[in-house]
Structure 1
């Protein structure tokens, strides 16, 4: 799964990377401990161009009467995404790119949760596969929300957690966004061995209120 991540890369670099038009209300960066229900920046393709704008991290199905009317859906399993009623339509028509600098996972030592920070080994930006939905609330309120697509972890990553975000390669961005026809499901694979690197970090990140660059610093031995 992916329940926390960091985004430290500047907006102008991201809009250039994705050749996207930025919104005026992007979430601030850098952020070192992004949690579900918080706004994140995502890329969608609409009306012939890409847009880089904010969405709520936590997918809101159209039948929810309020954003908290059911489970908090911040991840979507690749194996069942086309079958689940909450995600089925979005997986076909509303896919997005969710950039990140890295994400966190936890292992257990007795009752203690030990945090790890995972990045690309080559230090390039991560690009998560995502799906999104526009939810119409009461009195005309509209909320755009998203979820990160995950798949079964392989190799060393499986020692940390059984799930891992789907990381899209640059050559798959257009396919995932629906700009190159069908076949996006082929991109929903686990990162190859050696693509990711991970390190233990301090316990401060266990609090969802913590933030700051110290959260991603390697734990001193």
Structure 2
């Protein structure tokens, strides 16, 4: 699955299409990568609410947040079996808002990105998980997430 995606649509358009509340600014981004803060939508008191999360799941039991750089995708077929994802899959799901994603093709000149969008150019969402991770000193950096997918 993708390791890069885009979100260039205006907030009002995203909210009209996906129906969520969000009161912060967003800027167009063509190359969103793991480790960056991303727009995610979850439920709060029965309402869809957007927030920024960091891409890369850090399990609550992890000692170091760097593990999040390795956990950016999970396969649907095994997500409920893997200790890193099991609890988040059961109770901490979200939507990752996007309007395009990249796949790479090897060419003689190196890898070349191809951006995929919906035919009607509307936004869509990836299924996502999030976790709340705290440092050993008890401080909590931004929440973290990652999306999961079904291997075809």
Contact 2:6–2:98, Cα closer than 8 Å, also in 1: yes
Contact 2:57–2:68, Cα closer than 8 Å, also in 1: no
Contact 2:93–2:130, Cα closer than 8 Å, also in 1: yes
Deviation at 1:40, TM superposition (A): 0.3
Mind listing any 5+ residue stretches in structure 1 that lack a counterpart? 154-221
Q: What per-residue deviation string (whole Å, max 9, x for no partner) do you get for residues 169-198 of structure 1?
A: xxxxxxxxxxxxxxxxxxxxxxxxxxxxxx
Q: Structure 1 or 2: larger helix share?
A: 1
Residue 102 of structure 2 aligns to a residue whose secondary structure is strand
Deviation at 1:70, TM superposition (A): 6.6
Deviation at 1:132, TM superposition (A): 0.9
CA distance in 1, matches of 2:125, 2:111: 26
Mind listing any 5+ residue stretches in structure 2 that lack a counterpart? none
Measured on the aligned residues, the alpha-carbon RMSD in Å equals 1.8
CA distance in 2, matches of 1:69, 1:108: 28
Could you tell me the TM-score, scaled by structure 2's length? 0.89
Match of 2:62 among 41, 61, 64: 64
CA distance in 1, matches of 2:124, 2:29: 15
Work out which of the two has the higher radius of gyration on C-alpha atoms and give 1 or 2.
1
Query: Aligned pair 1:123/2:130, yes or no?
Result: no
Structure showing greater relative contact order (alpha-carbon pairs closer than 8 Å, 6 or more residues apart)? 2
Runs (4 or more) in structure 1 with deviation over 6 Å come to none
- In structure 2, relative to structure 1, the CA distance for the partners of 1:144 and 1:70 (3 Å cut) is closer
Could you tell me the TM-score, scaled by structure 1's length? 0.63
CA distance in 2, matches of 1:147, 1:69: 12
| Structure 1 partner of 2:151 | 152
CA distance in 2, matches of 1:48, 1:126: 21
